[in-house]
Copies of this chain bind each other. A is one copy, B any other.
């Protein structure tokens, strides 16, 4: 729709962003309302736009709106336009560029055999190659989204049955994806062969639930059943649930950054509680790079669990030396110059009583460009801190993500071109330390990183990408790629 003009969100552009959350319910009278709740619990995975597709046994209905789930999807009128006992939903981080609402999901297509709606979390690494091929044979694209590529692959598959067509399509795509889809009779859930992005299965009374994270099961009171396996396709019908494994067996490479930052602390992945992992990272940090100090201060909110873990392990008191203003939600859309120069203070303020005269250890989850860290160190120092030591709950972020996380290109990542001492100097900290890669693996319960067959995708810390990057290779070196605007 051309009337639509998407306002750029006031997202913190010095943090990495998960780009989507997905959710689905099959077999509940309040399917759409439950989906709205699930998406609300997954709001941290995408704040730009949300969509729900529902099916009432005869037809599909779909609503997609810019903004937070709570802004529209909790109005009775909107939910009433989504009748039926089956629904899937999607949160989107970004709808960049002119494409506007056309890229918002779930996407819907009318196949010869019936309707099909799909919601996608991840990013394909051969979508552009496939798109050019499909266009050459007459497929018309309405959006710039990977998801539409998947739909066209299904539409043009030579197979007869929808499920066969779907499998045919996912066998041709590469990259990271967790999909939730709705056809006339089925709900499908699917993870890529490496299981890079999360997807869990839950049950609420007789209804099956699929969700990016367990916190979305909690909000509706659904029970956690299990994580969908890497490379698994689950098929949910009125008759029950079945699984397909259409890929060759491969080792799981779950995104380790989900533990560090993306996932909500009250979620758990494969049985590991995210909050506990983060506290453990803090404890590892204290052990690896402890330093004498008076107070452990988190950069709120993401640094809080690691800071608590650090404080416990070190015996140094934990205190809120930085106060975060939570009203920044959609704020400061077109800041004036005057406001731009105030910088980080819009969001954070020093709590002087805690900091004055103290040796402070600041704990944050990661450093991307370094600009935020620099401002925070300065703010803490201006509040009277005697020393400011920065401890980071992840290894240095040296490489871009091509699997559905919005990262700056490699050259913008401070760790790609500075040593740790250079970074310490740049952010003007008295000391700076990152957790080691093995320390991080220990915090998630492994003995160490298995260099031959890493247990997780950690490409952003190691440059070790677990798949081909076909779309990028033919354009030259990966590290010079522009930011991936259209990942979903």
B2-A64 in contact (CB<8A): yes
Number of copies: 4
A211–B275 Cα distance when bound, in Å, is: 38
Q: Is the interface of A mostly helix, strand, loop or mixed?
A: mixed
Decide if A357 is an interface residue (CB 8 Å cutoff). Answer: no
Chain B residue nearest to A101 (CB atoms) is B1
Partner-contacting stretch, out of A74-82, A402-410, A438-446, A468-476: A74-82
A463 CB to closest chain B CB (Å) equals 32
B71-A330 in contact (CB<8A): yes
Decide if A467 is an interface residue (CB 8 Å cutoff). Answer: no
Decide if A336 is an interface residue (CB 8 Å cutoff). Answer: yes
Interfacial chain B residues near A71, Cβ < 8 Å: 330-331, 333
Interfacial chain B residues near A112, Cβ < 8 Å: 132, 135-136
Q: Tell me the A319-371 residues at the B interface (CB within 8 Å).
A: 319-320, 323, 325-336, 338-339, 342, 345-346, 349-354
Interfacial chain B residues near A8, Cβ < 8 Å: none
Decide if A34 is an interface residue (CB 8 Å cutoff). Answer: yes
A349-B219 in contact (CB<8A): yes
A44–B66 Cα distance when bound, in Å, is: 25
Interfacial chain B residues near A466, Cβ < 8 Å: none
A218-B349 in contact (CB<8A): yes
A266-B218 in contact (CB<8A): no
A112–B141 Cα distance when bound, in Å, is: 10
A21 CB to closest chain B CB (Å) equals 12
A94 CB to closest chain B CB (Å) equals 16
Known A-B contacts A37-B339, A111-B135, A135-B111; A350 and B74 likewise in contact (beta carbons under 8 Å): no
Choose one: B312, B334, B352; the contact of A75 (CB below 8 Å): B334
Produce 1/0 per residue, A35-78, CB < 8 A to B.
01100110110010001000000000011111011110011110
Decide if A421 is an interface residue (CB 8 Å cutoff). Answer: no
Interfacial chain B residues near A63, Cβ < 8 Å: 2
Decide if A215 is an interface residue (CB 8 Å cutoff). Answer: yes
Decide if A305 is an interface residue (CB 8 Å cutoff). Answer: yes
Chain B residue nearest to A79 (CB atoms) is B336
Produce 1/0 per residue, A376-396, CB < 8 A to B.
000000000000000000000
Interfacial chain B residues near A44, Cβ < 8 Å: 327
Decide if A14 is an interface residue (CB 8 Å cutoff). Answer: no
Produce 1/0 per residue, A405-422, CB < 8 A to B.
000000000000000000
A153 CB to closest chain B CB (Å) equals 9
Decide if A127 is an interface residue (CB 8 Å cutoff). Answer: no
A164–B43 Cα distance when bound, in Å, is: 49
Interfacial chain B residues near A132, Cβ < 8 Å: 112
Decide if A304 is an interface residue (CB 8 Å cutoff). Answer: yes
B4-A331 in contact (CB<8A): no
Decide if A33 is an interface residue (CB 8 Å cutoff). Answer: yes
Interfacial chain B residues near A120, Cβ < 8 Å: none
B336-A264 in contact (CB<8A): no
Produce 1/0 per residue, A296-323, CB < 8 A to B.
0000010011001000100001111001
Known A-B contacts A112-B135, A349-B41; A101 and B3 likewise in contact (beta carbons under 8 Å): yes
A342–B308 Cα distance when bound, in Å, is: 30
A342–B41 Cα distance when bound, in Å, is: 12
Chain B residue nearest to A265 (CB atoms) is B323
A308–B304 Cα distance when bound, in Å, is: 13
Decide if A152 is an interface residue (CB 8 Å cutoff). Answer: yes
Choose one: B51, B218, B329; the contact of A345 (CB below 8 Å): B218
Decide if A270 is an interface residue (CB 8 Å cutoff). Answer: no
A279 CB to closest chain B CB (Å) equals 8
Interfacial chain B residues near A354, Cβ < 8 Å: 275
Task: List 17 additional contacts besides A137-B156, A265-B351; criterion CB under 8 Å.
Answer: A1-B100, A2-B63, A2-B65, A70-B329, A76-B336, A112-B135, A112-B136, A139-B140, A140-B140, A140-B151, A219-B346, A221-B345, A265-B323, A266-B349, A273-B351, A275-B353, A308-B320
